[in-house]
Amino acid sequence: MKNLLYTLILLILVTSCKSVDKMLESGNYTEAFEYSLSKLIGKKEKDTKYVVALEKAFQSANQVDLSQINYLNQKSSSTDYDRIYKLYKDLSERQNRIIPLLPLVSKDGYIANINTINYDTDLVDAASKASEYHYNKALYLIDNGQNKQDAINAYDHIQNVRYYFHDYKNIDELERLSILHGTTYVNIVHQLNVWNRYGWMVEENMISWPFHKLDNKWLQFDYYGDLEYGYDYTVNINILKVNVGRETEHVRHYNVEKIVEIEEDEHDKNHGQDSTNVVKPHRTKEKKYKAEVTEITRTKDARLIAELSIYNESEQSLDQVIPIQINLNFSGFSCTYRGDKEALEGKSINLDNDCENFPNDDDMVIDMIIQMQHAIFDKLDHYKFRGVNY
């Protein structure tokens, strides 16, 4: 049993050593660095093979990054400054992780050759060049942009500048301009073509609709707004019809009956059998059950019809007309009877003593207004407002 245990331990050690060697041989220096570091942190006696592996992984990973930086510097493209900064940051972070272990000496006395370098100047230089590139791109897009997307792209470049330096030149003003030019502004108005109190109820209710909840990063809705630089779109909510129908009640009376055969009452326990034990047939008689059924059906309908007309103000054109129709259909029912309940057995009769009262006209209108608001908000939320020139 002990021999098996020793064999397993030896196998694990050999496998782990082979695995880190394989990482190094295949060029997975970062993986080898992480693995070796995990085997050394917190260990008083540091295994030589992991000290050697960490040294090699650290040096090799640094060499790869520095070679890439040298290539990018020779290439001298302003679009590469972000990449150069990232490589210097990787070098600095890798070094900072190994510094707490220095001097790195194994239990066998092997001293790892770890040279440290201060990358702060390189990081600041790369950050400055990257910021200048993104700032100039944002400035150009704002000054020469032709559409909303150019302004949105300028905003992205500004955020890249802020990654390096929160305060940089007039970056706050550029950000304000990028949002101003990148946002699509939609003005909501309404047109009432219903000259009754229902129409006025709709109009009064619409004033409190929270159109601002439809806003997102690059889309702003105003209700009868007055932006000094104008709107990109105007959405006209045209209320065409608000109608509440009459209350209709239908009462139906009908009779039902049921005939059943029942045995006559027994007068004694020998009923149906004579003294010679001869069974006599049972005598039956018919019994008729009757009931009068009353059914009441109540109906009432209401309808609200509107349409959204979406105008592209920049092109002075009608983009789309979206119909909106809300229907409410009330139905109440009751069914009662007078007479014998037995007459109803086996019949398809749904007894219900309580017939719902007709809804109030105003309540139906309010319900339709709420449904219309949800429908309009859904349409606007999913509508693709195209970026326009500015």
The pLDDT assigned to 181 comes to: 94
- Taking 70 as the threshold, does the pLDDT of residue 4 lie above it? no
CA dihedral 143, 149, 153, 155 (to 10 degrees): 80
- Taking 60 as the threshold, does the pLDDT of residue 97 lie above it? yes
Contacts of 263 (CB under 8 A, 6+ apart): 282, 283, 284
Distance of CA 115 to the CA centre of its chain: 50
CA distance 284 to 304: 64
The pLDDT assigned to 13 comes to: 43
State the distance between the two ends of the chain, measured CA to CA, in whole angstroms: 82
What pTM value is reported for the model? 0.76
The pLDDT assigned to 146 comes to: 87
Four-way CATH pick for 184-263+284-390: 3.10.450, 3.40.50, 3.30.160, 3.30.460: 3.30.160
The pLDDT assigned to 388 comes to: 53
CA distance 371 to 188: 18
In this prediction, residues 162-182 reach a mean pLDDT of 96
Tell me the pLDDT tens digit for each residue of 305-349: 999 999 999 899 999 999 999 999 999 998 899 999 888 877 677
- Taking 60 as the threshold, does the pLDDT of residue 7 lie above it? no
Q: What is the mean pLDDT of the chain?
A: 89
Instruction: State the alpha helices, DSSP H only, in the chain.
Output: 2-25, 29-40, 48-75, 81-98, 120-144, 148-164, 171-182, 197-206, 361-382
Instruction: pLDDT band for 10, please (50, 70, 90 cuts).
Output: very low
Instruction: Work out the percent of the chain whose per-residue pLDDT is above 70.
Output: 89
In this prediction, residues 140-165 reach a mean pLDDT of 96
More confident: 304 or 260:
304
Q: Which amino acid is at 233?
A: Y
More confident: 11 or 272:
272
More confident: 183 or 388:
183
Q: Which two tokens stand for residue 11?
A: 């196998």
Phi/psi region, residue 52 (left: phi>0; alpha: psi -120 to 50; beta: rest), is: alpha
The pLDDT assigned to 271 comes to: 52
In this prediction, residues 91-106 reach a mean pLDDT of 95
**Which of 44-53, 91-100, 269-278 is least confident?**
269-278
The pLDDT assigned to 241 comes to: 96
More confident: 16 or 68:
68
- Taking 90 as the threshold, does the pLDDT of residue 389 lie above it? no
- Taking 60 as the threshold, does the pLDDT of residue 272 lie above it? no
Q: SS3 for 162?
A: helix
What is the bridge-based pairing of β-strands 317-339 and 284-312?
Answer: antiparallel
Tell me the pLDDT tens digit for each residue of 186-204: 999 999 999 899 999 999 9
Tell me the pLDDT tens digit for each residue of 365-379: 999 999 999 999 999
User: At CA 363, angle to CA 357 and CA 367, rounded to 5?
Assistant: 115
